[in-house]
Amino acid sequence: MTPTRRSLLTATVGATLMPALPRLGRAQAANTIRIGVLNDQSGVYRDISGPYGIECTKQAVQEFGDKGFAVEVISADHQNKPDVGANIARQWYDQGVDLIIDVPTSSVGLAVNNVAREKNKAYINTGSATSDLTGAQCSPNTVHWMYDTYMLAKSTGGAMVKAGGDSWFFITADYAFGHALERDTTNFVRAAGGKVNGSVKYPFPATSDFSSFLVQAQASRAKVIGLANAGADTVNSIKQAAEFGITRRGVKLAALLMFLPDVHAIGLQTAQGLVLTESFYWDLNDRTRAVTERLRPRLRDVKPNMASIANYSCTLHYLKAVADMGVAASKASGVDVVNRMKAMPCDDDAFGPGSIRADGRKLCPSYLFEVKSPAESKAPWDYYKLLQTTPAEEAFRPMNEGGCSLVRS
Amino acid sequence: MEDIFGIPAPLLFGQLLLGLINGAFYAMMSLGLAVIFGLLNIINFTHGAQFMMGAFAAWMLLEWAGLNYWWALLLVPIIIGFTGVVLERLMISRLYKLDHLYGLLLTFGLGLIIEGVFRNQFGSSGLPYRIPPELQGAWDLGFMFLPIYRGWVVIAALILCLATWLLIEKTRLGAYLRAATENAPLVQAFGVNVPRMVTLTYGFGVALAAIGGVLAAPIYSVNPQMGTNLIIVVFAVVVIGGMGSILGSIITGFGLGIVEGLTKVFYPEASATVIFVIMAIVLLARPAGLFGRA
């Protein structure tokens, strides 16, 4: 790994910056559910959830109201580093945190997955994309919320192949997430009769110039350049592809994972016409508009995207399960809470009705959007038009194909 | 189509050119670092943050004052250079008598604080800054498609580097500077105001970083961590070129850009590490750097 200023700091300051937990009296602690929001608050994925994800969590707690127990929300920055994330998770669980949520960056998400299982605590991942969380590395303590690489590959990748993009070149972030996204998309491209002309894996997060990879992709004569990356990397890739005239020459860009704030950062002038997949859009229906309106005092000028609002959705569902089975029982076993969550149907304004499968996969519809042109956009954050909806039962990988041990037993 | 090492020749030429473009940024940044280190003996770790401030200043001028790219190119180095002057007077000047390490810690810390403030204010996903209309479009070179803006960056960087080199090596002011680097008290005894020269030199180095930021704004998203990605690489470039060597930092900047560009073709996974491997080898073979005096 390249030493960056942040990694230098992590080594020295990381330990001392660990969030200090307020010490509660024993009686009070026994009746308080503690939720830890662990995400990126200072790096490339900050704007996707970060401070907004924390606010969405607090909104869920507020809307849930008083059901005879207190709820406390704490947060920390994992800096996209698996070691930092696992350390904070371990410390939190030891100090009485009952649930950890969010955790973007798949490498960190998988590390925390192991810690939650070891400590028998509850873990709801909303930020990581890797489909391994409900596949080879699935855990009885873990629920994976609103998306994964399989769902993105199926929706965006499937649509691109159907539209004639039958040869692909991947530009892939060289870590767990990028690998999973490339793998899952490759499967769909091949299954649809397309071929993969090549791929490059670039160092994450130390890369900001993608021109070299874009030119290589162009030289491969692929019809579609698949961007298996996220956040600021996707923003830079798309900006630079426009600069090098790649899209004007008929090559299509497949932004396999793109969030609303990314579109905001690129600007509609460059982003128009891109297709992408999210499981939430603030202007989708009356319920999504209502929850967005309720969140406005907390998020101010920013609209929620599927990642930040997933924290709202999963917190509500978790608290319902806790209220159902009692605080003491939920504190005693993470597996029991997660099982109770799986047994209860989900419903909230953000994702609508849904359910959680035995392998920990939360089911919700996925939506294929096209980015509007500047002329079509009527207001700030009016960015998407809906192209296609994949129903919840078809959006995700069938349970028997994931290789999850919970399913076989 | 001929192949060179199994790579089609046009692709290879394209990569060499792209390497040169990235090298232009390395050269501009390391030049500023070298100038500052040469005279002040300070390893300016705030440089990355100042590069980022340059890009943000360009964005602010456009969004808040309606001043376009060309105004930014003129005004941003002056504005950010002035913040550098203030910084030098208020803080850095107090550290000259102390060990290098204190200067490094101060500038490193300042860099982190500045980055944090910008992130708090503007978020992490960046702000759009469009390529000026005069420089939009691209040339078709046959072997690749070269955006006019990137060509402009290389030319602008070469002009800046050459001008700086001439200023320091060929003018009277440059002679004072070099003399002050060798023996400051003696130069002061001849009636030259050395502290003021030192302050202005720091401002100049910072202005170079700011121009780099303006040039980078249309290419990368204008975001608070854009300098962080660059500063460590640029620091390695300065070490390889020889601390404080002007010509060394220019040549090494462009050269390493090309090496990195080629790595992106042959083994992309290593493209972020290759410069540090070279740094280690150079430090073993020539501890003073390729162009440094031992």
| Closest listed residue to residue A256, CA positions, set A310, A188, A312, A354 | A188
| A407 or A337, higher pLDDT | A337
For chain A, the domain total comes to 2
Across residues A357-380, what is the average pLDDT? 95
The verdict on residue B294 lying in a domain is no
Partner A contacted by B145 (CB < 8 A): yes
Chain A, window 81-100: residues with a beta carbon less than 8 angstroms from a chain B beta carbon = none
Residues A54 and A22 in one domain: yes
pLDDT of residue A7: 47
Cβ <8 Å between A3 and B219: no
Same domain for A87 and A207? no
Residue A97 lies in a domain: yes
C-beta atoms of A235 and B225 within 8 A: no
Are residues A297 and A313 part of one domain?
yes
- Check whether A11 has a pLDDT greater than 50: no
Q: Between B51 and A245, name the one with better pLDDT.
A: B51
B185 occurs within a structural domain: yes
**pLDDT(A102) > 70:** yes
Looking at the domain assignment, is residue B293 inside a domain?
Answer: no
Quick one: closest CA in B to A171, which residue?
A: B268
Q: What is the pLDDT of residues A106-155, one digit of tens each?
A: 999 999 999 999 999 999 999 999 999 999 999 999 999 999 999 999 99
DSSP string, B66-120: ---HHHHHHHHHHHHHHHHHHHHHHTGGGGTTS-HHHHHHHHHHHHHHHHHHHHH
Whether A175 and A268 share a structural domain:
yes
Q: Please state, in angstroms and rounded to a whole number, the distance separating the CA atoms of residues A17 and A37.
A: 16
What number is the average pLDDT over the span B72-81?
96
On whether residue B184 sits in a domain, the answer given is yes
The closest alpha carbon to B45, from B104, B114, B117, belongs to B104
Same structural domain, A32 and A139: yes
Contact (CB<8Å) A211/B108: no
In a domain, A409, yes or no: no
Closest CA to A37 of A11, A84, A74: A74
Angle at A214 between CA A212 and CA A219, to 5 degrees: 95
Nearest CA among A178, A177, A201, A208 for reference residue A4: A208
Chain A from 200 to 259: CB within 8 A of any B CB? 200-203, 205-209, 211-213, 215-216, 218-219, 231-232, 235-236, 239-240, 243-246, 249
Predicted confidence (pLDDT) per residue in A300-350, tens digit? 889 999 999 999 999 999 999 999 999 999 999 999 999 999 999 999 999
Check which CATH number belongs to the domain holding A312 and give it. Answer: 3.40.50.2300
Any A CB within 8 A of B228 CB: yes
How many residues does the structure list for chain B? Answer: 294
Report d(CA A8, CA B7) in Å as an integer.
37
CB of A47 within 8 Å of any CB in chain B? yes
Alpha carbon distance B59, B54 (integer Å): 9
Token pair belonging to A403: 């290789």
A389 touches chain B (CB under 8 A): no
Q: What is the CATH number of the domain that holds B202?
A: 1.10.3470
A298 and A316 together in one domain: yes
Peptide bond into A205 cis (omega under 30): yes
Claim to verify: residue A235 and residue A379 sit in the same structural domain: yes
Cβ of A42 under 8 Å from any chain B Cβ? yes
A341 and A378 part of one domain: no
- Quote the domain boundaries for residue B51: 3-285
Q: Does B18 touch chain A (CB under 8 A)?
A: yes
Could you tell me what percent of chain B has a pLDDT over 70?
A: 97
Which pTM value belongs to this model? 0.82
- What is the domain range of residue A180? 150-278+365-395
Q: Are strands A122-125 and A195-202 parallel, antiparallel or unpaired?
A: unpaired
Q: How many domains does chain B have?
A: 1
Q: Is residue A321 part of a domain?
A: yes
Q: Where are the alpha helices (DSSP H) in A73-155?
A: 82-94, 106-119, 149-152
For tokens 């947060």, what's the residue? A75
User: Which of A13, A211, A262 should be substituted to probe chain B, the one whose Cβ sees the most B Cβ atoms within 10 Å?
Assistant: A211
Determine the distance in angstroms separating the CA of B239 from the nearest CA of chain A, rounded to an integer: 15
- Contact by Cβ (8 Å): A201, B271: no
DSSP state of A247: G
Q: Interface pTM (ipTM) of the complex?
A: 0.80
- Asked if B16 is an interface residue toward chain A (Cβ–Cβ < 8 A), one would say no
Restricting to B residues 191-220, those with a Cβ less than 8 Å away from any Cβ of A are: 219-220
The candidate with the shortest Cα–Cα distance to A165, out of A251, A248, A236, is A251
Q: B110-164: per-residue pLDDT in tens?
A: 999 999 999 888 887 788 888 898 888 888 877 777 889 999 999 999 999 999 9
B78, part of any domain? yes
Note the pLDDT tens digit of each residue in A169-190. 999 999 889 999 999 999 999 9
Residue B292 lies in a domain: no
A3 confidence band (pLDDT: 50, 70, 90)? very low
Nearest CA-CA partner of A29 in A85, A71, A73, A78:
A71
Residue A344, amino acid: M
Chain-centroid distance of CA A195 in Å reads 28
Residue A119 shares a structural domain with residue A168: no
In a domain, B210, yes or no: yes
Q: Hey, CA dihedral for B254, B257, B259, B262, is it positive or negative?
A: negative
A134 and A160, same domain (yes or no): no
Are residues A358 and A369 both part of a single domain? Answer: no
Q: Please, which residues 339-378 of chain A have a Cβ atom closer than 8 Å to chain B?
A: none
Q: How does the average pLDDT of chain A come out, rounded?
A: 90
A13, pLDDT greater than 50: no
CA angle in degrees (0–180, nearest 5) for B200-B202-B204: 70
Q: Which residues contact A299 (CB under 8 A, 6 or more apart)?
A: A52, A55, A56, A308
Q: Is residue A408 part of a domain?
A: no
> Is A306 part of any domain?
yes
Residue B291 lies in a domain: no
Q: In B135-193, which ranges are continuous DSSP H helix? A: 148-170, 172-182, 184-189
Has residue B75 got a pLDDT over 60?
Answer: yes
Q: State whether residue B140 is helix, strand or coil.
A: strand
Contact A209 B272 (CB under 8 A): no
Q: Does A233 share its domain with A373? A: yes
Segment B165-185 shows an average pLDDT of 88
Query: Contact at 8 Å (CB) between B41 and B104?
Result: no
